[in-house]
Structure 1
Amino acid sequence: MVEDERTQLLPKEAGSDESPSLSCSHMEPIPKKHNAGPSGWGCLPQGDKWHSAVALQGGLPLPLNFWSSCIKYLIFLLNFLFSLLGLLTLVVGLWGLTDKESLGSQQLPYLGTDPMLLFVVVGLTVSIVSLAGCIGALCENVCLLWFFAGGILTFLILEMLAGILIYALWDQLQDILNSTMLVAITRYQDDSDLRFLLDEIQLGLQCCGVVSYQDWKLNLYFNCSSPGVQACGLPPSCCINPWENGTIINSQCGFGALRMDETTAQNVVHSEGCGPRLRRWLGHNSWVIRDYILVTTVIEGLEFLLVTKLVRDIKVRKAGH
């Protein structure tokens, strides 16, 4: 009886009287593709890939191999960090909008020019795509991984198109930038974010206005016809020496600068506009921007390749089961 069972489970090779060198310490339920007895019980060959997965896990899918597991957890870790960064950016944007009451009915017409809106859009987009990649990799969900790969591919296409447009329409973009800065000058007192950005540009580049410091006449508060105390003055960020005692900005350093003749005003404030200074700064630092874009593109392309590799491994594993 024992010999018959051994004959059914492990058939002899043709032309040989000895059984293959296979050992089995106990009987286990095994898939039909292996040699099994009529009852479906038998022993698995040593080293067979189904031994741990089917015999010990009761037919569950096989775990990923070592390299696929490394890719899986690398994608999870990267997207977890990016999702936190995206959520932080989203929170900062929402806080900025609510703090300035930009979501109120009176401020809605200016919502499109609010810099905080950019934080909200970028933070929300990055969070959704990164969370999809994070959860998809951890749960080995093919649909979420394909969604993440589609988001990465969309980012790459948009970045490529943006680079082409910037290179082809550089002169037109400079005109748009000048127009945007003029709008920021007219709304200097109305929007704290625009005021902060404009002050940082003028302090960092040591400039004033767009073409010259005379552009501040477009602001109703600094215009000489204004009855306020700021009439004919300039923001402290336009001053050559805006600091009082080296630590505190002197808010009155630009007082009456628009009444002065140009020679006298040059001793108090920066007369050159920020438009030419900004173009020169971009020209001198173009390699930094280029390298940043290149590194970002390489990282996104690598993530796309890793995701497609992981999806392929998951599908192969499921097909084998």
Structure 2
Amino acid sequence: MGKAKYKKFFLFGFNVTFMVIGGFLIATGVYANVEKSEYYRNYKDFYDFISDPSIAVIICGSIILFVSMFGMIGALRDNIKFLHVYLFFVVFIFTFQIVIGVIGFIFWSEIKDSVNTAFLLAIIKYRRDPDLKNAVDGFQLNFECCGSTTINDWDQNPYFRCGAKTPEACGVPVSCCKIKEKISKVKTQQVSSNVTGPNFENFKWTDINLQCGYKTRQHHRLTYRNEIHTRGCLDALVLWLYDNMLVIFGVVVASVLPEIFGACLTFFYIAHIKRARQEWVDGNRRSHLFEKEAMTNF
């Protein structure tokens, strides 16, 4: 009796938690999409739709909310059918993740080509979607890279293409510049000049040359190696993956543990419901749990 209550409580709470997470993701994605201007929300082709980060967040949240709903209702009403559906989805998602991981390992070169293609398409759409622009800028800043395989990949963008009638022509975005090094240098100078201790309140973005990517691709890439990053982001990503294999493994394990826990808890709870109902039907009456459900065959 006590164990059944604990199982029901944990299963119900577990799914309510994920429903809240799914609802939060949906609300965040909808808010991000609505906040865009009318121009950006008019998708011109299918890639504009699937590459929109806000749409990906909405889809992910919807899946979490949909699956968790079955688990919550099944636990609340002791509904075996709903619990079976929930268990199926959890096992399916877990299996799908394993299959994707195996496919990614076997077809690693094809995966790299797909990532390269996706990054090039993101460069082409760089000015059309602010979320995509922020994603590219964030990637280039954090991984200290520029372009997919080379800085000349920015020639794919109509604004940065050499010969274009734009201020950015034959240049690269400011996210390709060595901003972190310059900020660190400025702050170090401020620390050394402050005898009372570090104080970064006087730091200004005007101390950094934000036009460091201007016309850089008109010359050899090594000419501006002190101003911009010349390594492609695909190579930077591969090196980061190799250097952080243990961290990635830990994240993967941590992401699948809730799925394993939910599946095992659901499996044992279904078995308990069946055993309790069978005991009631057989007339043993050793368990008074689920009496109403057993009588009505809910």
Structures share a fold, TM > 0.5? yes
Matches within 5 A, 1:308-319: 308-319=267-278
Q: Give the alignment partner of residue 75 of structure 2, picking from 129, 132, 137.
A: 137
Closer/same/farther in 2, CA of residues 268 and 122 from structure 1, 3 Å limit: same
Q: Give me the whole-angstrom Cα distance separating, in 1, the residues matched to 2:255 and 2:121.
A: 31
Please report the TM-score for the alignment, with normalisation by the length of structure 2: 0.79
Partner of 1:38: none
Q: Give me the whole-angstrom Cα distance separating, in 2, the residues matched to 1:218 and 1:160.
A: 35
1:74-125 Cα distance to aligned partner (Å, 9 max, x none): 1111111111111111122222333335654646662122222221221101
Higher helix share: 2
Does residue 277 (structure 1) correspond to residue 236 (structure 2)? The answer is: yes
SS of the residue aligned with 1:149? helix
Closer/same/farther in 2, CA of residues 75 and 167 from structure 1, 3 Å limit: same
Aligned length: 257
RMSD, matched Cα: 2.1
Greater CA drift, 96-105 or 83-92: 96-105
1:42-62 Cα distance to aligned partner (Å, 9 max, x none): xxxxxxxxxxxxxxxxxxxxx
Contiguous gaps of at least 5 residues in structure 2: 187-202, 281-298
1:13-67 Cα distance to aligned partner (Å, 9 max, x none): xxxxxxxxxxxxxxxxxxxxxxxxxxxxxxxxxxxxxxxxxxxxxxxxxxxx101
Closer/same/farther in 2, CA of residues 208 and 104 from structure 1, 3 Å limit: closer
Matches within 5 A, 1:112-127: 112-127=50-65
Q: Give the alignment partner of residue 216 of structure 1, picking from 135, 154, 178.
A: 154
Partner of 2:128: 190
CA contact (8 A) 1:236 1:250 kept: no
CA contact (8 A) 1:82 1:130 kept: yes
Matches within 5 A, 1:25-104: 65-100=1-36, 101=38, 104=42
Greater CA drift, 166-175 or 213-222: 213-222
Closer/same/farther in 2, CA of residues 85 and 238 from structure 1, 3 Å limit: same
Partner of 1:266: 225
1:121-149 Cα distance to aligned partner (Å, 9 max, x none): 21101101112212221222222211111
SS of the residue aligned with 2:179? coil
Q: Give me the whole-angstrom Cα distance separating, in 2, the residues matched to 1:204 and 1:109.
A: 25
Closer/same/farther in 2, CA of residues 201 and 149 from structure 1, 3 Å limit: same
Residue 153 of structure 1 deviates from its aligned partner by 0.9
CA contact (8 A) 2:51 2:132 kept: no
Contiguous gaps of at least 5 residues in structure 1: 1-64
Q: Give me the whole-angstrom Cα distance separating, in 2, the residues matched to 1:174 and 1:89.
A: 28
1:183-242 Cα distance to aligned partner (Å, 9 max, x none): 111111111121111111111111111122121122111122111122222111111137
CA contact (8 A) 1:185 1:219 kept: yes
1:281-320 Cα distance to aligned partner (Å, 9 max, x none): 0111122222222233333122212112111222222333
Q: Give me the whole-angstrom Cα distance separating, in 2, the residues matched to 1:271 and 1:306.
A: 51
Residue 261 of structure 1 deviates from its aligned partner by 2.9
Q: Give me the whole-angstrom Cα distance separating, in 2, the residues matched to 1:174 and 1:108.
A: 22
Q: Give the alignment partner of residue 173 of structure 2, picking from 224, 235, 245.
A: 235
Please report the TM-score for the alignment, with normalisation by the length of structure 1: 0.74
Q: Give me the whole-angstrom Cα distance separating, in 1, the residues matched to 2:145 and 2:42.
A: 34
Is the radius of gyration larger for structure 1 or structure 2? 1
Partner of 1:180: 118
Q: Which amino acid aligns with 1:163?
A: G
Q: Give me the whole-angstrom Cα distance separating, in 1, the residues matched to 2:123 and 2:43.
A: 23
SS of the residue aligned with 1:233? coil
Q: Give me the whole-angstrom Cα distance separating, in 2, the residues matched to 1:108 and 1:295.
A: 33
Residue 247 of structure 1 deviates from its aligned partner by 5.3
Does residue 201 (structure 1) correspond to residue 139 (structure 2)? The answer is: yes
